[in-house]
Amino acid sequence: MSEAPLSFTAQETAYIARLNRNRQKAGDLRAANAGSTVMVSGWVFRYRDQGGLVFVDLRDRSGILQLVFDKSELKDRFDEAQALRGEFVIGVEGTLRKRAPEAVNAKLATGEVELLVKEFIILNRSRPLPFPIDEYSDVGEETRLRFRYLDLRRDEMRDAMILRSRLNQSIRRHLEGDGFIEVETPVLNKSTPEGARDFLVPSRLSPNKFYALPQSPQLFKQILMVAGFEKYFQIVKCFRDEDLRADRQPEFTQLDMEMSFVDEGVVTDTLEKMWRSVIKEVFEVQLPAEFPRMSHYDAVENYGTDRPDLRFDMKLVDIADIAQRSEFQVFKTAVEKGGRVKALCVPGGAELSRKDIDELTEWVKQDFKAGGLAWMKHEADGLKSVVSKFFNEDLLKELAVRTGSKPGDIIFFAGDKPKVVHDTLGNLRLRMAKRFNLIPENAWAIVWVEGFPLFERDADSGELASVHHPFTAPLDEHLDILFDEERFKKEGDKILSRAYDLVLNGSEIGGGSIRIHNAEMQLAVLRRLGINEEEAREKFGFLLDALSYGAPPHGGIAFGIDRVLTLFLHRESIRDVIAFPKTQKGFCLMSQSPSSVDVKQLQELRIRTIPLN
């Protein structure tokens, strides 16, 4: 246990009050301030005892300042200075002076000065830390999360939190200036089985009923448009009870927006203006004057994914016609079965060893259900590999030309169902780009992806589901398919939606759409999703009603704030930009949450737990 003083004398309290009132930011002091009396408070960051002198690097939120405790100055209080230890909290008064030229620390913003201590008070002590604040590279994430209050003292974490705050304020300032109103929508919501799994909250006042935490304020923001708010935004927590994948959190922060009397062009213009201004202000990055657009079709064809990383080229190339003229049965069969055959040329990839390639093969089999991974190295005398024998000289030359390969490159091939081909080569593209350093540093490639299908067929059940959500408007020119039951059965997945995603460096940072603003059309889309009118009214009755009372055309978007920060701060994980994140098991290691609760609490809620056997 610490030996911190439990209380202060009246005199000490008065002195602390004086320090509190006159405290300056330690990190802001400069040579120009030399000679003045300065009061600072903060933490003992580094400590060095040199006989009659004690040097302390004092840390506060603004930075670091060197303090000098001089025995000849402090007399009988010098013992106390010698008793200081790391992370003790102190208040200090002294004279700021220039350091001797040889003592200047160029790495420190305050490196030309130091504070000669005249008076000080220990405000709190600290136990020895479980890990050092300043060098912690070998500290595991579990320990960092358990002692988050220490982890957050590190520069990287503090900077991330400060920039997070600035980003939020900058967004709000911009949107307020652009006529947007921030409206708070409820956290205690209605459960709708669509979409991901809900977190549920048992209601005590309505026993056996439940609230759900919002996956997004989708319906409420549409309601706000019906209510005539025209421009809404909110930076808001959303929740998904999913099995947490690598970089997901059960609660995450969304910039949620909706606008009335808009079409895709007005929405994307508004958002481009916002992001250009905000990103410039907060991260000093200049986004392009106009964000490029790409169709969902082109994204998948060329990059194998609907969130293409455009910082580098390396497109997927269709070689089905070449494969068909070859003797390579695997690919020929794939084409015959309606599949695709594509190639990916990796510049410099010929240096991959057999072992490397075997590993990649295992990976694409495991993760993307590929049957295997064919490849050819471009050697001095042309394309070579175990499969090159199935292609005659002309075809090999044609392959080299089509893929743009040069000596030293490797070409990978996939021939399979379209999804397998695109997943395999799309992911291989990213992995190879990292492996061969093909991604320029500090490049920012932003792109709108649009023209998504409205529905997609479930691979297992064959049923159609919404690609985005059931409130997304279809393209007007595809409505005839929607309203014709027979045509819909055959061509339902050809209807394109009015949705748009914003993709940055291969990550989806936002997604939205123009919404359905007409009750009949909304009912029609729900019907096509297998939801009859009765069920629709039970679940979304208030939306259907609202759409019948003068709903304006409207559309919006939601951006992932955690993701935007992670990208612009070059962090590994969204956990590094969240003050108190949870583990992949949804656990808070610091507060030990979730936890068991009193059976009395459950009784009041009229629920009981089903024990695990």
Residues 36-55 that bind its own copies (CB under 8 A): 41-43
SS3 track for 65-89: EEEEEEHHHHHHHHHHHHCCCCCCE
Residue (135 or 476) nearer to its own copies, CB: 476
Show the tokens assigned to 384.
């070579």
Query: How many residues make contact with its own copies (CB under 8 A)?
Result: 149
Residue (153 or 307) nearer to its own copies, CB: 153
Per CB under 8 A, does 243 bind its own copies?
yes
Residue span binding its own copies (CB under 8 A) among the ranges 105-113, 273-281, 517-525, 563-571: 517-525
Show the tokens assigned to 408.
């030293």
Residues between 129 and 158 that touch its own copies (CB under 8 A)? 129, 147-153, 158
Residue span binding its own copies (CB under 8 A) among the ranges 27-35, 117-125, 305-313, 403-411: 117-125
- Least Å distance, CB 33 to its own copies, is 19
Residue (158 or 280) nearer to its own copies, CB: 158
Q: Which of 55, 229, 297, 363 binds its own copies (CB under 8 A)?
A: 229
Per CB under 8 A, does 527 bind its own copies?
no
Residue (437 or 591) nearer to its own copies, CB: 591
Binding site members for ATP? 240-242, 249, 508, 560-563
Residue (13 or 333) nearer to its own copies, CB: 13
Task: Return all residues near 35 (Cβ < 8 A) that are at least 6 apart.
Answer: 95, 96, 97
Residues between 337 and 396 that touch its own copies (CB under 8 A)? none
Per CB under 8 A, does 13 bind its own copies?
yes
Look at residues 289, 287, 290, 274 and name the one whose alpha carbon lies nearest to residue 168: 274
Show the tokens assigned to 584.
């992949």
- Least Å distance, CB 36 to its own copies, is 20
Show the tokens assigned to 99.
């350091």
Per CB under 8 A, does 528 bind its own copies?
no
- Least Å distance, CB 272 to its own copies, is 15
Per CB under 8 A, does 534 bind its own copies?
no
256 with 236: CB under 8 angstroms? yes
Residue (332 or 517) nearer to its own copies, CB: 517
Rounded-to-integer distance, Cα 173 and Cα 170, Å: 5
Buried b (16+ CB within 10 A) or exposed e, 191-203: bbebeeebbebbe
- Least Å distance, CB 138 to its own copies, is 20
Residue (192 or 385) nearer to its own copies, CB: 192
Per CB under 8 A, does 23 bind its own copies?
yes
Show the tokens assigned to 248.
């997901």
Residue (106 or 612) nearer to its own copies, CB: 612
Q: Which of 53, 119, 143, 202 binds its own copies (CB under 8 A)?
A: 202
- Least Å distance, CB 174 to its own copies, is 11
Look at residues 511, 529, 475 and name the one whose alpha carbon lies nearest to residue 215: 511
Site string for its own copies, 253-292 (x = CB under 8 A): x-------xxx-xx--------------------------
- Least Å distance, CB 296 to its own copies, is 21
- Least Å distance, CB 564 to its own copies, is 14
Q: Which of 162, 196, 285, 599 binds its own copies (CB under 8 A)?
A: 162
Residue span binding its own copies (CB under 8 A) among the ranges 249-257, 304-312, 351-359, 386-394: 249-257
Task: Return all residues near 36 (Cβ < 8 A) that are at least 6 apart.
Answer: 95, 96
Helix (H) / strand (E) element for 49: namely strand 37-50
User: Which ranges of 284-353 would DSSP assign to H, the alpha helix?
Assistant: 296-303, 320-325, 329-336
Site string for its own copies, 409-438 (x = CB under 8 A): ------------------------------
Site string for its own copies, 57-96 (x = CB under 8 A): --xxx-------------------------xxx-x-----
Q: Which residue has the tokens 């220990």?
A: 122
Per CB under 8 A, does 494 bind its own copies?
no
Q: Which of 285, 367, 593, 599 binds its own copies (CB under 8 A)?
A: 593
Neighbours of 580 (CB within 10 A): 14
Rounded-to-integer distance, Cα 554 and Cα 518, Å: 11
CA angle 226-232-236, nearest 5°? 120
Per CB under 8 A, does 518 bind its own copies?
yes
575 with 581: CB under 8 angstroms? yes
**DSSP structure string for 401-421:** HHHT--TT-EEEEEEESHHHH
Per CB under 8 A, does 548 bind its own copies?
yes
Buried b (16+ CB within 10 A) or exposed e, 66-90: bbbbbbebbeeebeebeebebbbeb
Show the tokens assigned to 170.
């900058």
Show the tokens assigned to 567.
């990208």
Binding site members? 194, 240-242, 249, 468, 508, 515, 560-563
Per CB under 8 A, does 197 bind its own copies?
yes
Give the chain's length.
613
Pairing verdict, β 63-70 and 113-124: parallel
Residue 358's Cβ-side half-sphere holds a number of Cα atoms within 13 Å equal to 3
Rounded-to-integer distance, Cα 525 and Cα 503, Å: 27
Q: Which of 48, 209, 273, 280 binds its own copies (CB under 8 A)?
A: 209
Residue (378 or 469) nearer to its own copies, CB: 469
Residues between 563 and 582 that touch its own copies (CB under 8 A)? 578-580, 582
Pairing verdict, β 374-379 and 410-416: antiparallel
**DSSP structure string for 377-406:** EEETTEEESTTGGGS-HHHHHHHHHHHT--
- Least Å distance, CB 576 to its own copies, is 14
Q: Residue 234 in 3-state DSSP?
A: strand
Residue (51 or 611) nearer to its own copies, CB: 611
Q: Which of 48, 204, 489, 490 binds its own copies (CB under 8 A)?
A: 204
Q: Which of 56, 115, 117, 219 binds its own copies (CB under 8 A)?
A: 219
Per CB under 8 A, does 8 bind its own copies?
yes
Pairing verdict, β 382-384 and 317-318: unpaired
> Residue type for 399, please?
L
Backbone angles phi, psi at 457, to 5 degrees: -85, 130
Residues between 171 and 190 that touch its own copies (CB under 8 A)? 172-173, 176, 181-190
- Least Å distance, CB 191 to its own copies, is 5
